[in-house]
Amino acid sequence: MPWTVPSRKRYHLITLGCAKNVVDSASMAQLLEGAGYESVDRPARADVLIVNTCGFIEAARQESLQVLRELAARKKKGQLLIAAGCLAQRWGARLVEEVPGIDGVIGTRRWMDILEFIERLRGRMVPEPLFHIPEDGPIRREEHGVLRAAVQGVSAYLKIADGCRRPCAFCAIPLIKGPAVSRPPEVIWAEARRLVDQGVRELVLIAQDTTDYGHDLGMRDGLPTLIEGLVQRVPEVKWIRIMYAYPGAVSDRLIEVMARYPQVAHYLDLPLQHGHPAVLRRMRRPANIEWVYRTIEKLRRAMPDIAIRTTFIVGYPGETEEEFEALIRFVQDLEFDRVGCFTYSYEPETPSARQPGHLPEEVKQERYERLMAAQQPISLRKNQALVGKTLEVLIEGVGDGLSVGRTYRDAPEIDGLVLVEGEWPVGQFLPVRITGAMTYDLIGVVEASPSPDRKAPPGIPLTLSPAR
């Protein structure tokens, strides 16, 4: 007789890690709710507990393990605990050894099988863990029909591809995800149309490498083609934002498309990882620093108001003090608008783990603090230059007499905010005059006579007075 659990249909889903995981979780939720499952906000009320884990770096792995252990410790009789996502894909059976109480492990390449996997767990003859983790092969193209954007307010993360073919020495993503698989453009365009019809105003394009979009489909320079199709099919979208561009792959055509269409936000996330060619070569990253200077110049010439975001890794194996100081000068010279920084994380299965010269944690942390200290006056100066100007701000939250929003210069969750006097309707774009600047955030007031935002999402009043 099969080992059974109650056939109620309530689930609790926890998402850890990056925006790509958020999209996968939204897609699993869509499948579950389409099959009659109800989402509940407390684990104790759920029949199925799912943790979409992150396994990218050690800190993320520890967070995933902690969440799984907490759920396993409180798991009630009849509940199912499923580990999904990147750590599930990467560790497989080891995850069950680390966290007794897990019922099933489903890899990141097979999230679209979540319903069938739950039924397999319910039909087990004995309560032993089950695994659904193909050892190789790319993400299945069958996911394209069920993948759903993760909507947050009037913004949506729109995944255009998954997996990566780049050889970065420090990165485990190709081991976890496999080579890049692009979603067909017509599928992305149709999803964008649906999202905008539902009130979404900002489409955030994400992938491990957005500039590699379409390579596996035989497209050349596919990202500009995809964006032009979006503009043609959803011309009323307010912002199309590009994240995770790859150095050396930002083409002249992409810059032209960004500059030509007002729907494309003048914003580019371009993770460079370092500013010294020797370190970049050890990282197996593009090491042509002159390309960076030329491309930044092209972007700023085509779009003088562009905000350029980048990220760096400090404390990479073998990084000398001289190489690190060159990175500081690189940052000061190019004056990026947004800078993120990470200390190098040892990843056992990556080529960087075998490279000589691993640095002590205290050295890595000290370099992190020095780099961020070098960027802070640049960030403050750029924000101060906006004082007195009027920018469109997307209102995302209200409370205590203030509203919080973002400009086109700020990506969701990772960049700065604008604190706006008064409580304004969430989801509207309003003209805000900037009155003050901090290192990362701005302060402003809504212009006295703003024009109505005629595309506020359904249910949000088109009022020009602060909400009471």
Q: How far apart are the two ends of the chain, measured CA to CA in Å?
A: 60
Amino acid at 233: R
Q: How far is CA 57 from CA 71, 115, 344, 406, in A?
A: 22, 29, 9, 29
Q: Let me know: does 203 contact 235? Beta carbons within 8 Å.
A: no
Three state DSSP letters for the chain: CCCCCCCCCEEEEEECCCHHHHHHHHHHHHHHHHCCCEECCCHHHCCEEEEEECCCCHHHHHHHHHHHHHHHHHCCCCCEEEEEHHHHHHHCHHHHHHCCCCCEEEEHHHHHHHHHHHHHHHCCCCCCCEEECCCCCCCCHHHHHCCCCEEECCEEEEECEECCCCCCCCCCHHHHHCCCEECCHHHHHHHHHHHHHCCCCEEEEECCCHHHCCHHHCCCCHHHHHHHHHHHHCCCCCEEEECCCCCCCCCHHHHHHHHHCCCEEEEEECCCECCCHHHHHHHCCCCCHHHHHHHHHHHHHHCCCCEEEEEEEECCCCCCHHHHHHHHHHHHHHCCCEEEEEECCCCCCCHHHHCCCCCCHHHHHHHHHHHHHHHHHHHHHHHHCCCCCEEEEEEEEEECCEEEEECCCCCCCCCCCEEEECCCCCCCEEEEEEEEECCCCEEEEECCCCCCCCCCCCCCCCCCCCCC
Supply 380's token pair. 């403050």
Burial of 311 (0-12, 13-18, 19+ CB in 10 A): middle
Task: Return phi, psi of residue 354, to 5°.
Answer: -95, 0
Residue 341, annotated ligand binder? no
Contacts of 61 (CB under 8 A, 6+ apart): 54, 55, 87
Residue 86, annotated ligand binder? yes
Annotated binding site: 18, 54, 86, 164, 168, 171
Annotated binding site for [4Fe-4S] cluster: 18, 54, 86, 164, 168, 171
